[in-house]
């Protein structure tokens, strides 16, 4: 089931996200996020954009949301999308379910452009974005430094 996130989901969302902070370079945050911080992020995001979860029984297996691409007014029709899946839940179609719903909601909000930033390498995320028609538009070399390594970031764009 895909549904809007609630404050009560913050515990499971935090667990999902903190795995990526502690074990991967897909996020450049380096310190685990507290549940209250995640709850605040969810509430702040939902003032303007969707934050969705995929839930089966009582388990959240993934989430997706959109945020402003940039704060200046001329960017108001562009968003950055984010999707995270619980460790071990990749390859089950959950990311596609989340992105299908997220993109539909963004279209209804008259969003024009969705941008996905992907730390490299990340073939699964690239495949997900390209499945939805995102096109690679930029590649920045060695812009992040985590776990004693430089990390590239590339951007994919979808014009709605």
pLDDT along the chain (160 residues), means of 10: 96 98 97 98 97 94 97 96 94 95 98 98 95 98 97 98
Contact between 111 and 78 (Cβ < 8 Å): yes
- pLDDT in the model for residue 108: 97
Global pTM reads 0.95
**Residue-level pLDDT at 133:** 97
- Tell me which residue range forms the domain holding 153: 2-159
Question: What beta strand segments (E) does the chain contain?
Answer: 2-4, 51-56, 59-68, 78-85, 113-120, 135-146, 149-159
| Cα torsion 21, 117, 47, 53: sign | negative
b or e along 75-113 (b: 16 or more beta carbons within 10 Å of the residue's beta carbon)? eeebbbbbbbbbeebeeeebbebbbebbbeebeeeebee
- What's the CA gap between 108 and 94, in Å, rounded? 22
CATH number at residue 118: 3.40.630.30
Greatest alpha-carbon span in the chain: 42
Q: Based on the structure, what is the number of domains in the chain?
A: 1
């Amino acid at each position: 089931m895909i549904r809007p996130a609630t404050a009560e989901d913050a515990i499971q969302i935090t667990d999902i996200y903190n795995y990526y902070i502690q074990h991967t370079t897909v996020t450049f945050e380096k310190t685990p996020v507290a549940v209250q911080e995640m709850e605040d992020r969810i509430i702040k995001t939902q003032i303007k954009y969707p934050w969705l979860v995929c839930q089966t029984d009582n388990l959240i297996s993934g989430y997706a949301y959109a945020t402003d691409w940039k704060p200046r007014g001329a960017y108001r029709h562009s968003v950055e999308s984010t999707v995270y899946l619980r460790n071990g839940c990749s390859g089950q179609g959950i990311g596609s379910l989340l992105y299908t719903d997220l993109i539909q909601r963004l279209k209804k909000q008259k969003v024009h452009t969705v941008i996905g930033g992907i730390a490299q390498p990340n073939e699964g995320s690239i495949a997900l974005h390209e499945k939805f028609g995102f096109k690679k538009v930029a590649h920045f070399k060695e812009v992040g430094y985590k776990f004693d390594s430089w990390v590239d970031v590339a951007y994919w764009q979808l014009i709605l």
